[in-house]
Structure 1
């Protein structure tokens, strides 16, 4: 058990990124089906990035045989680039194109963070989204998927940035992001920690240092990925390259 009473993290290594994507997609669909069979409407936190897109496309490929009712799943995004609603940089747009639209998830089940079209400042947009989460969220993620950057960031929680210290907030704005675009909206640690199952999805040699540091006692300030664990499960899904320095 960890210091906060959560189970220790598991590590699952796959030979290739393709094998990783296939394994995660299959497990995801199985978990959704099980949650729905128990009478739940699963609340899911999605992430962006190359490996996430591969997983999303694999979900779409496997979905017809899954038995999942896509009208009874709530989808959120761990963070979002604060750009125009139709920008190809938005995580929501990428996920819609890769699988949400293809499998038929209704719009009211996809909870996007605001875009610059709203006319709000990034902080105002984060506050508005937080109110949406309070109205429509279940209070916790059943499954939260997180990518990890080469610097160890998750969502848009970057090493040394003030958002790491956010308290009593669901989502906050980010300015001056070290990774473009400079403005983003992100869930806070407090919100992300309200997850039953947390899956880290990491592919590529460029992430190997961050993965190794996350498992060798690095602080949250140094490697923000160390700051989130699931209450019942935390699994790091890695390919061989990402696991090469463990």
Structure 2
């Protein structure tokens, strides 16, 4: 299978969340049937939670054997466990708490107080990922990795012009000076993100249009981290019409490598 990148445009945020939720349920059933287990990496933000809420509300969710999925996060705000601003807290409220998961199915990233420094927390997160990885790999093979994209083009907690976006040796990095609060964060590195089988970037709103347009037009990773995302099998930008406003027309024409077709394999 080729590792194509695609853009799927939806009319609004509600239809966007519903479509991604339906696609996820269908795909994860197939993955579990084929492999027996799946690793899924979640993200925070408004659309990250909206997709999970749509999954929770879908009657088709009962078709998924949730006991066969391990959940991770691409990044985390370095705040106490249970803080409403943590990505995992939001994901649990939106979906995970309703699934009856075992504790070892939910791989939360460290919080303050568990390690002496945030750098040590990053190393501890790397060990957790390595323990669940195939032999010789630094992290699990993520079957689906959800990502958001910030108005500045950041993904996970990899920000423009920050050294962490260029890191290739580490699995998890500490970000002590995020341009948006809270300042302290943990993040997977770009090579680990790009080792995922499928990367699904979900973004909505006119404030994301500039970043999306630059990412698809070939901006540098240092300037627009989202431009560097490339899953092993497939990379899909799921967007609403407002976010797609600055995507060059040639990139969403059906006969181009980038396409806005509404029915593609995933």
Normalising by structure 1, what TM-score? 0.95
What do the CA deviations read for 1:154-203 (whole angstroms, capped 9, x no partner)? 00000010101212211010011101001000000111111111111010
Structure 1 SS opposite 2:18: helix
**What is the number of residues matched between the two proteins?**
242
Counterpart among 121, 127, 138 of residue 125 in structure 1: 121
The runs of 5 or more residues in structure 1 that have no matched partner are none
Aligned match of 1:169: 170
* CA–CA distance in structure 2, aligned partners of residues 159 and 6 of structure 1: 28
Counterpart among 66, 70, 73 of residue 69 in structure 2: 73
Q: What are the equivalent positions in structure 2 for 1:1-246 lying under 5 Å apart? A: 7-62=3-58, 65-138=61-134, 139-246=140-247
Aligned match of 2:255: none
* CA–CA distance in structure 2, aligned partners of residues 217 and 203 of structure 1: 20
The runs of 5 or more residues in structure 2 that have no matched partner are 135-139, 248-266
* CA–CA distance in structure 2, aligned partners of residues 176 and 232 of structure 1: 33
Does the aligned pair in 1 maintain the 2:25–2:60 contact within 8 Å?
no
What do the CA deviations read for 1:49-70 (whole angstroms, capped 9, x no partner)? 0011111101111155541111
Distance 1:170 1:65, change over 3 A: closer
* CA–CA distance in structure 2, aligned partners of residues 6 and 181 of structure 1: 38
Does the aligned pair in 2 maintain the 1:29–1:63 contact within 8 Å?
no
Does the aligned pair in 2 maintain the 1:6–1:229 contact within 8 Å?
no
Structure 2 SS opposite 1:117: coil
What's the Cα RMSD here? 1.4
Distance 1:223 1:63, change over 3 A: farther
Normalising by structure 2, what TM-score? 0.88
